[in-house]
Amino acid sequence: GQQLNRSPQSMFIQEGEDVSMNCTSSSIFNTWLWYKQDPGEGPVLLIALYKAGELTSNGRLTAQFGITRKDSFLNISASIPSDVGIYFCAGRIDTNAGKSTFGDGTTLTVKP
């Protein structure tokens, strides 16, 4: 099956700094998704990307769908303490929303 590799595994940053994380896949996806998981809760969708090269923003978050369709990145600008959590990428081949492949997640710590 598909494998998603995320980078980095964890990040410790100062409040106000920008953050960048990415995922690469062994095969192509038709949809890339970025989720955030707070401690003790389920993941929540942040951004969805539908076509190669697409760049989408959601507030301080910006994500891009790689041209090769095998990678995606997520940027967070001007980080704040509530950005703390685990960020997951997920890829989908078909329109079946129930069959997403998840990466292992990047743990973000923001120091005030």
Partner 1 sequence: NAGVTQTPKFQVLKTGQSMTLQCAQDMNHEYMSWYRQDPGMGLRLIHYSVGAGITDQGEVPNGYNVSRSTTEDFPLRLLSAAPSQTSVYFCASSPWQGVKQYFGPGTRLTVT
Q: 78 or 109, CB closer to partner 1?
A: 109
Q: 14 or 94, CB closer to partner 1?
A: 94
To partner 1, the closest distance from the beta carbon of 110 in angstroms equals 19
Binding site for partner 1 (CB under 8 A): 1, 4, 6, 31, 33, 40-45, 48, 88, 90, 95-105
Q: 22 or 31, CB closer to partner 1?
A: 31
Residues near 98 by beta carbon (within 8 Å), at least 6 away in sequence: none
Residues near 74 by beta carbon (within 8 Å), at least 6 away in sequence: 20, 21, 22, 34, 46, 47, 61, 62, 63, 87, 89
| DSSP-derived 3-state class of residue 83 | helix
To partner 1, the closest distance from the beta carbon of 101 in angstroms equals 8
Lookup result for tokens 């081949």? 93
To partner 1, the closest distance from the beta carbon of 100 in angstroms equals 7
Residue 16 tokens, joined: 């106000």
Q: 77 or 84, CB closer to partner 1?
A: 84
